[in-house]
């Protein structure tokens, strides 16, 4: 195949997840929780948008004049990875199930500029994607599949997966890490984790050391391994939430009517809080975090967040509270404060577990 994405892969961290093309929602067959992408009812990938706000990992180019008579991939390939997938790779050293990378093709526009001779970008000319999804592609090598929305504009609204032989064989034989050409992307090589530590710092997340608290287990179970704590500065937190870094946490299976003043919600606990709730602690350790996705008429529009900042709760003053009524509009952030009384007044109820109302286990 010509120009099909021998996937020189990408990672970068940034503001938001993707939006999608103007496709009728009734056409979608979307499996929630697998990844930030959608398929139509015929199994075709719907073209993502907003990917230029993802993590940018690099731009390889193999121009024609360096590969006579003609290069297989003569254009610039701008590669992006979804922020949540990057964060997981940064912490674990592995591409998680649901990872999506985007390759945007840009033609070579000129070989001369005021700075000297070289290769300079021209117009956008194509878009490709690769997805790791064990549920949709259980028989593909590494569970990776590859897609192209065309090499000229206007791009196609949907794309069908390429046959295995078209892309996977090259990736399997030559890519450095799980079918991804990480050897050509120093951003990925530098980020590769495996010890639970965040390296880029761009999303402001930290991984706190385990706090010894009465009743706390000596070691967290594998089920609750992700102890990531989000930033507690409102702009950074909104960016972090849009990166969906909490999606791998212990959570409820679906949305339901809130027991408090919110609309419908879905609750997530990080590993620190989940283990503390499982143990039955009356006082949760520093770093315990709850994230609530807020929904109305089935649409996810905002979040509320609680982060334990001090060992003693002091009626809620040891917690940071955050709520936004819009996923992108910073003007819709209604709370971002330690000890916010509008939150503690509701959460500080007799019999609860240190201001956490959602309980355990989550259903």
Task: Tell me the domain boundaries of the chain.
Answer: 19-191, 222-347
What percentage of the chain carries pLDDT values higher than 90? Answer: 51
Please, are residues 292 and 304 in contact by the beta-carbon 8 Å criterion? yes
Q: What is the DSSP letter of 285?
A: P
> Does 96 have pLDDT greater than 60?
yes
3-state SS, residue 152: coil
Given a cut of 70, is residue 80 above it in pLDDT? Answer: yes
**Per-residue confidence (pLDDT) for residue 351, from 0 to 100:** 66
Q: Is it the case that residue 60 has pLDDT exceeding 70?
A: yes
pLDDT for position 209: 32
The token duo for 258 is: 């809130």
Query: Residue 300 has what pLDDT?
Result: 95
pLDDT at 195: 56
CB 95 within 8 Å of CB 10: no
Calculate mean pLDDT across residues 280-308: 93
Q: Return the structure tokens found at 102.
A: 């985007």
Mean pLDDT confidence for 257-264: 81
Average pLDDT, the chain: 82
* Two structure tokens written together for 178: 């799980």
- CATH classification number, 19-191, choose in 3.20.20.70, 3.40.50.2300, 1.10.3980.10, 3.50.70.20: 3.50.70.20
- What is the biggest distance separating any 2 CA atoms in the chain, rounded to whole angstroms? 77
Place of tokens 């526009």: 109
Which pLDDT score is estimated for 263? Answer: 87
How do residues 183-199 score in pLDDT, each as one tens digit?
Answer: 999 999 898 876 555 44
Per-residue pLDDT of 343-356, as tens digits, reads 888 888 776 778 89
> Using CA atoms, how far apart are residues 39 and 91, in angstroms rounded to an integer?
28
Tell me the C-alpha distance between 22 and 152, whole Å: 19
Q: What confidence tier does 91 reach under pLDDT thresholds 50, 70, 90?
A: confident
Same fold, 19-191 and 222-347: yes
- Distance separating alpha carbons of residues 27 and 21, to the nearest angstrom: 12
Q: What is the per-residue pLDDT across 191-225, written as a single tens digit (0 to 9) for each?
A: 887 655 544 433 333 333 333 333 333 333 455 77
List CB contacts of 345: < 8 A, sequence separation 6 or more. Answer: none
Q: What CA–CA distance (Å, rounded) separates 131 from 97?
A: 9
What is the CATH code of the structural domain delimited by 222-347?
A: 3.50.70
> Residue 167: pLDDT above 90?
no
Distances (CA, A) of 200 to 90, 91, 181: 8, 10, 20
Burial (CB count <10 Å: 0-12, 13-18, 19+), residue 363 = exposed
Eight-state DSSP code of residue 62? -
- Enumerate residues 6+ apart whose C-beta is below 8 A from 65: none
pLDDT of res. 100: 95
Question: Is the pLDDT reported for residue 33 higher than 60?
Answer: no
pLDDT of residue 201: 39
According to DSSP, residue 41 is labeled: T
What pLDDT is attached to residue 48? 92
Res 206: pLDDT? 32
């Amino acid at each position: 195949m010509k120009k099909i994405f021998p996937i020189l892969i990408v990672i970068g961290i940034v503001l938001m997840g993707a939006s999608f093309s103007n496709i009728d929602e009734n056409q979608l067959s979307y499996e929630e929780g697998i990844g930030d992408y959608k398929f139509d009812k015929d199994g075709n990938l719907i073209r993502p948008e907003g990917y230029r706000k993802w993590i940018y990992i690099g731009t390889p180019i193999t121009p024609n004049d360096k590969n006579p008579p003609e290069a297989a991939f003569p254009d610039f390939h701008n590669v992006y990875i979804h922020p949540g997938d990057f964060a997981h790779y940064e912490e674990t050293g592995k591409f998680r199930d649901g990872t999506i990378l985007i390759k945007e093709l840009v033609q070579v526009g000129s070989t001369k500029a005021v700075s000297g001779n070289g290769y300079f970008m021209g117009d956008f000319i194509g878009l490709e994607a690769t997805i790791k999804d064990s549920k949709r592609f259980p028989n593909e090598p590494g569970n990776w599949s590859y897609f192209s929305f065309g090499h000229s504009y206007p791009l196609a609204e949907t794309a069908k997966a390429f046959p295995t032989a078209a892309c996977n064989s090259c990736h399997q034989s030559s890519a450095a890490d799980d079918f991804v050409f990480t050897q050509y992307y120093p951003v990925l090589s530098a980020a590769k984790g495996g010890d639970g530590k965040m390296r880029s710092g761009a999303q402001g997340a930290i991984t706190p050391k385990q706090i010894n608290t009465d009743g706390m287990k000596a070691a967290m179970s594998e089920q609750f391994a992700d102890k990531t704590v989000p930033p507690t500065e409102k702009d950074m937190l909104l960016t972090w939430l849009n990166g969906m870094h909490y999606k791998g946490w212990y959570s409820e299976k679906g949305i339901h009517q809130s027991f408090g003043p919110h609309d419908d919600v879905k609750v997530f606990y990080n590993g620190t809080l989940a283990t503390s709730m499982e143990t039955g602690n009356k006082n949760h350790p520093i770093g315990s975090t709850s994230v609530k996705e807020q929904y109305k008429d089935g649409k996810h529009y905002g979040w509320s967040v609680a982060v334990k900042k001090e060992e003693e709760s002091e009626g809620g003053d040891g917690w940071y509270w955050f709520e936004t009524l819009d996923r992108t509009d910073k003007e819709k952030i209604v709370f971002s404060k330690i000890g916010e009384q509008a939150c503690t007044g509701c959460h500080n109820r007799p019999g609860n577990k240190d201001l956490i109302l959602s309980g355990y286990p989550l259903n």
